[in-house]
Amino acid sequence: MTAPGLAIGLADIEAAAARLAGHAVRTPLLTSAVLDEAVGARVFIKPECLQRTGSFKFRGAYNRLAAMSDGERARGVVAASSGNHAQGVAEAARLFGVPATIVMPQDAPATKRLRTERSGARIVAYDREREDRVAICEAIAAETGAIFVPPYDDPFVMAGQGTAGLEMAQDLTALGLRADAVLVPVSGGGLLSGVATAFAALAPAACHPVEPEGFDDTTRSITSGRHEANAKLAGSLADALLARTPGQLTLPILKAHARPGFTAGDADMKAAVAFAARELKLICEPGGAIALAALLSGAARFSGGTVAIVLSGGNIDDAMLADCLAA
């Protein structure tokens, strides 16, 4: 049942889970004694870095393509992304055997570009400062007939990302536990809108966005109730978390099911990437580790509670990993 005015409900996420079964990884819910002691809380980790293509983005992209008719899919898809959505769309298109064109900023991390190409997608590079990626996508769609796959503001994309939250809620419930807080990296709000919808329906918990310092449009929008925007579009290590403002479809859900959240800066993210590698034995990218960064840097806030965090992606260049380990 979808609440009036909201783009998705639990049934959409359950339908997405059925489409994703056997194609996406049902990532585990991990625990770490070292992390529990560091935070003074019981922490559960959803490692979406272990997901196909190295981030949760495959879930939404695959669900979007799976929901198309054969005729629609055959036209191919086009998407704009700094990297993780690009890989998700490219890999979903490869699995369905349809062409994908990805509009990607020139300064995207090399590893994300290479991995997108590896899935067989055509890359169109653009200048983040001077060109409009949406206009480029529209031109490609008009020219080739390809269908645009939005990074977050789409019910199928949101429901696909929500399957991560569905699994978390199911696994916590199976353990007989309720989370006091759920921390989710946020850019446009696709992942958090899906996760918060699943938790609201199955395992009520306070779901919070975690955003880069200076890019807290989501927390400000949840607080004010309307679309607030970031002043900048660049200037954070979390290259995947720099949307200007929440989506038209995601914000109403965030207002209904999520709470104001937290921020973490570059140094906190680097420390979290290093902690994840050394202690959790997981590779995260800076933005993918931002919920862990908020947890470690604000541990007192969560003391004594049960906290679930999403590690949303692990597509980090070797040089950036080395930089985080050296910090």
**Which stretches of the chain bind a second copy, using CB under 8 A?**
25, 28, 30-31, 33, 47, 49-50, 52, 54, 91, 111, 277-278, 280-284, 314, 318, 321-322, 325-326
Residue 271's alpha-carbon distances to 21, 108, 233, 266, 282, in angstroms, are: 34, 22, 23, 9, 13
Structure tokens at 77: 């898809």
Nearer to a second copy, 74 or 322 (CB): 322
- How far is residue 284 CA from its own chain's centroid? 13
Would you call 205 exposed, middle or buried from its count of C-beta atoms within 10 A (0-12, 13-18, 19+)?
Answer: buried
How far apart are CB 51 and a second copy at their closest, in Å? Answer: 9
In whole angstroms, the minimum distance from the beta carbon of 1 to a second copy comes to 31
List the one residue out of 105, 49, 115 whose CA is nearest residue 81: 105
Nearer to a second copy, 31 or 303 (CB): 31
* Closest CB 50 distance from a second copy, rounded Å: 6
Nearer to a second copy, 129 or 279 (CB): 279
Q: Which is nearer to a second copy, 232 or 278 (CB)?
A: 278
SS3 for 208? strand
CA gap 33, 138 in Å, rounded: 49
Nearest to 325 by CA among 254, 260, 276, 264: 276
Q: Tell me the residue length of the chain.
A: 327
Q: What's the CA gap between 210 and 310, in Å, rounded?
A: 10
What b-and-e string marks burial along 167-187, b requiring 16 or more CB atoms within 10 Å of the CB?
bbbbbbeeeebebebbbbbbb
- The structure tokens listed for 106 are 């020139």
Judged by beta carbon, residue 208 or residue 270, the one nearer a second copy is: 270
Smallest separation, CB 30 to a second copy (Å): 6
CB of 286 to a second copy, least distance (A): 14
Closer Cβ to a second copy, 47 or 155, answer by number: 47
Spatial separation of the C-alpha atoms in residues 134 and 150, rounded to whole Å? 10
As measured in angstroms, the least distance from the Cβ of 140 to a second copy is 27
Q: Whole-number minimum distance, CB 118 to a second copy, in Å?
A: 9
Q: Which is nearer to a second copy, 54 or 261 (CB)?
A: 54
Two tokens, residue 138? 């529209």
58 versus 215: smaller Cβ distance to a second copy = 58
The first and second tokens of residue 182, run together, are 């759920």
Closer to a second copy by CB, 32 or 193: give it. 32
Tell me how far, at minimum, the Cβ of 32 lies from a second copy, in Å. Answer: 8
Least Cβ distance, residue 305 to a second copy (angstroms): 19
Interhelix angle 155-174/57-66, nearest 10 degrees: 120
> Cα–Cα distance between 312 and 309 in angstroms, integer?
9
Distance of CA 52 to the CA centre of its chain: 13
